[in-house]
Chain A
Amino acid sequence: MVEKLAKILLPIMLLLHLHPLQNLWGHDFQERFIQHQLQVQVSPINIDFHLELGFFGDRAAQERLLMDLDSNGQINLNEESTYLRRLVLSIRNKIYVKLGKHQLPTPLLFYPKMNLIINRDVKPLPLKITVSFFARTPSPISPKIPLIIENRVFKNQPAVHNVIANGTDGMHVRLDPIQNYVIEGTDSVFIFTIHCLTTKKDLG
């Protein structure tokens, strides 16, 4: 009986906690934002995009709640897998790469990786999800024609973006200055530009 009651009450309590009314007992504003850490690796053959999505505080709790299908307050491996499978469907083709007027296909690369940071509770505890995409490096590629990249993953959610671009196997990459790292509104797209330059020595 107690278990049944808990099963019913727990999600309701959590939903209440996520409701704007929770402002009454406070939260950190910054936690509304999903942190997008995008690593772009350009080789002569492929351009790989590894995007780490960081969820914090109440925003993390929301995502954990979505995973907890049996509403027992704990996320098991099956629930994690189900969540990731749904995520895969929602993020397909959400990285755009344009070279001049041409848009390059950007399939998913690796299957998403979940990091619940040890704790599987449905609580406001951080979590990270890494998703990967790739495009084929256009050939020839000139520094004068930049690659314009759009990150549309979770584009309806406020986000703070960060990009690191590296060249490998002889490629050297320059990232143009980014005007706005913070996307506060909805339906906004984070756009940046990289130029593929000549080889330069990197560490190692």
Chain B
Amino acid sequence: MKKLIFKLFISILSIIPLQVEGQVFQSGEFQGDRAAELMTYLLREHSYIFDQKQLDTLQESYRKFRELESQGVPDWHMSRDEVNTQLSKLAGKILEEIRTSEWVIPVSYKGNTPYLSRQKSVQLPGDIGVLLFKIHSGLKTTQFSTIAYDMAALQHDDFGGLSTEESDLEFTVSEQGTTWGLVNLKNVPPGKSILIARFRKGNNRPHDLPIQISSPELSRIRVNVLSDDTGENTPSMVQILWKKNGQDRRPENAIDMGLQFDNRGRGTSRRPGSLPGILGSRFWWCVPGPFEMTLPPGEWEIMVRRGVEHIPVKEIINLAESENLEKTFRPRRWVDMRKHGWYSGDGHVHAQILTDKEASNIMTWIKAEDIHVANIVKMGDIFRTYFQQRGFGPKFRVTDKDFVLVPSQEGPRTHEQLGHTLAMNTTSHIRDTNRYFLYDWTLDQIHAQGGLAGYAHVLHKSFQVHRDMSINVPKNKIDFVELMQFGEMGTDLYYDFLNTGFKLTASAGSDVPWGGTVGEVRLYAYLGEKPFSADNWFESVKQGRTFVTNGPMIDFRIEEAHPGDELRFEKHEKTKKIRVRAKVWGDPERMIPDSLQIIRHGEIFQEALGSGEKELNLDFEVEIENGFWMAARAKGSDGSEAHTTPIYVTREPLRFWKFEKAETLIKTRMASLDEVETIVKEAILNVAEGKATGDWPTRQLARQGDLLMVRVEEARLIYQELEKTLQKEKLLRSQTGNN
């Protein structure tokens, strides 16, 4: 049916010639992509040349064009040429709708000589703009051409015009048809300028025509951002968007972090944010304080953010030509988690810090995002290290009031073998490539230094991290795992290990520069009445007193226990009831809570659904039964999420695991250990057969394989013991009728 309608549509187009200024489009070469490129520039970057009605019409026509183009090619009983011709007509028709617009520069040919049909100067909106030529030299074809033209690259010639010697402002014109030519102008100077456009038709001598353009004087703006806490100037994240074209501008004093990203990830200072809701589709610059900059006149949208605890501010301003304007913004807090005893941190930040200036850049960034602790990690793989640091330990921390940068490391990291380890608060860099696959060696060193050990990217189950988790989690060598990153949460592996009866603390890290901005996901650590210090913060993380979030805040307690705590009960207390309380709340302007869940053994045990309330609460009693782990999880209306570390409830002598699933979970872990054995065997075989000559990781894995297998065997013994425990508990539970 769709095909029939399309054929009918095409047939109608074929029968009724499109009357355009007395011309008729006829068949010819279709340049669909070139038409699409030209339309894209018009609609995406220079929509200012249309009024809203025109824009709506054009956008809809353009979408129809795209639909026809996409559907019409493969199966229609019409040649590609026929389809192209009809689509070409449609593209031409779209542009004809704006032919009378003042923005279109008509060029006509008499013989082989082009003439400007209108000599009027083209008024541009500012330092960028578009020239759209309609070059008429016949009736047969329609073609499209797009040129990017940077006026900063040009020089004035002796006659006061702009030299075109080095420029490419040249159109190859259809010999017998219409050429639509778009010039995408950048760095246009204020006032009047002359551009020389060159038109080349066939093999004829090219002709130059002067095009007069005019651009307004620039305006100036000064922007101050004040802290809601102190009323003084503060670093912030800023976006300045020109409504005319939807493009943003770099604030004059935006900090330049590019080189600190070591050419890795998204190594630019224009930071995207993996942020929920409409904040996520934007780009942000970090500014240390007030700034002043020139902008073309017109309507601008200024948006200022200061991390998740503040309400972002958005204001639209109208700048007149040559105007000087000062604006002051003060993003208000919707919550101050410090007053509740919670301090924020980002567990995974990559940035080189070798100088005070580099430290100052990152300090400014975490202040702008209101992140109190940044775990700055030097990264390594088996070949080399990245994101160098001046040193490790308290001496190399950078502290400014209650903001602190703490150097540590991500590594060992293997991608196809065992996953990525992450450390917090270490005192020296730990690395030995001769023991690179023996992660426990590094984990033990981390703990010996008083640091915390964990895994990165657990939410994504990336880089085969389940394998080393299966080796080292049961040996109690792991403190935390990353549950949130890139604005996302993933709990599959986390729940599997908790359900097997292993305690793990929830952590989160932005992984910038791969992530968007520091603190876009964050972990909060509960310090209670203790004063803030890096040491106190890490101590709380060690105790598991954390939750992770990219929006909502959670308060979760069982009796008086906090996340990470264990409540232990006697054998006879099976029917004793304990009180569970949870609360979630969010920025009332954009992330009212959608749901609050109490998760027990990985499943929703209780749930409160939101219907517009500012906060959701759950308060109920539950019997201890055979013990469990319980956590709170929440969602905000903008897609944001939060999750606490569990509170562990045990009844002696039982484990808090998910008993009914434990057998399967143990088998899964044993299968992960089998995978390790397989890769070790493969590595040894490949080396023996000379297949790994240039494959350094495989050679190292083969070399370290025997020692790694010792670790695997140790882990197998632990799981075998757990199988025995399972049988014992089965008996215990059946004897006491507790199964």
User: Which residues of chain A have a CB within 8 Å of any CB of chain B?
Assistant: 20-21, 23-32, 35, 37, 39, 41, 46, 50, 54, 56-57, 77, 81, 84-85, 88, 92-93, 105-111, 113, 117, 124-126, 134, 160, 162, 164-166, 172-175, 177-182, 200-204
Contact = CB atoms under 8 A, between A and B. Distances in A.
A24 to B, nearest CB: 6
A136 B39 CA distance: 19
B278 interface: yes
Contact of B265 (A21, A56, A177): A56
Nearest to B267: A126
B266 A39 contact: no
B381 A28 contact: yes
Given A57-B264, A109-B63, A201-B590, A26 B695 contact: no
B272 interface: yes
A124 B71 CA distance: 37
Nearest to B41: A111
Contacts, number: 145
Contact of A203 (B71, B272, B277, B463): B277
Nearest to A45: B60
Contacts of A26: 381, 383-384
Nearest to B71: A105
B599 to A, nearest CB: 13
Contacts of A108: 36, 66, 69-70
A30 B280 contact: no
B12 to A, nearest CB: 21
Nearest to B62: A109
B486 interface: yes
A201 B636 CA distance: 12
Contacts of B314: 203-204
Interface string B481-511: 0000011111010000000000000000000
11 contacts: A23-B694, A25-B383, A39-B280, A108-B69, A111-B41, A126-B263, A162-B488, A164-B487, A174-B639, A181-B462, A202-B590
Interface of B: 33, 36-37, 39-41, 43-44, 63, 66-67, 69-71, 148, 168, 263-268, 272, 274, 276-281, 312, 314, 381, 383-384, 386, 413-416, 459-463, 486-490, 492, 514, 589-590, 592, 637-639, 694-697
A105 B64 CA distance: 12
A1 to B, nearest CB: 27
A201 B589 contact: yes
A154 B278 CA distance: 27
A107 B461 contact: no
Contacts of B639: 164-165, 173-175
Contacts of B638: 202
A77 B696 contact: no
Contacts of A111: 33, 36-37, 39-41
A203 B265 CA distance: 29
Contacts of A93: 70
B697 A23 contact: yes
**Closest 3 pairs (CB-CB, A-B):** A26-B383, A29-B415, A107-B70
Contacts of A25: 383
A203 B589 contact: yes
A132 to B, nearest CB: 8
A164 B33 contact: no
Contacts of B70: 92-93, 105-108
B337 to A, nearest CB: 20
A110 B276 CA distance: 24
A164 B280 contact: yes
Contacts of A182: 460-463
A204 B63 contact: no
Contacts of A172: 637
B695 A23 contact: yes
A186 B352 CA distance: 34
Given A126-B267, A178-B488, A203-B279, 20 more contacts: A23-B696, A26-B384, A28-B381, A29-B381, A35-B514, A41-B281, A54-B266, A105-B71, A109-B66, A111-B33, A111-B37, A117-B268, A134-B63, A166-B281, A179-B490, A181-B459, A181-B490, A182-B463, A200-B637, A204-B314
Given A77-B148, A109-B66, A111-B33, A179 B492 contact: yes
Contacts of B281: 39, 41, 50, 164, 166
A204 B278 contact: yes
A106 B384 CA distance: 43
A165 B638 CA distance: 9
Contacts of A31: 264
Contacts of A85: 33
Nearest to B639: A175
A25 B415 CA distance: 17
Given A21-B694, A85-B33, A174-B639, A166 B263 contact: no
Nearest to A25: B383
Contacts of A106: 70
A172 B276 CA distance: 13
Nearest to A178: B488
A186 B57 CA distance: 41
Best-buried of A28, A39, A166, A202 by chain B (most CB within 10 Å) = A28
B468 to A, nearest CB: 15
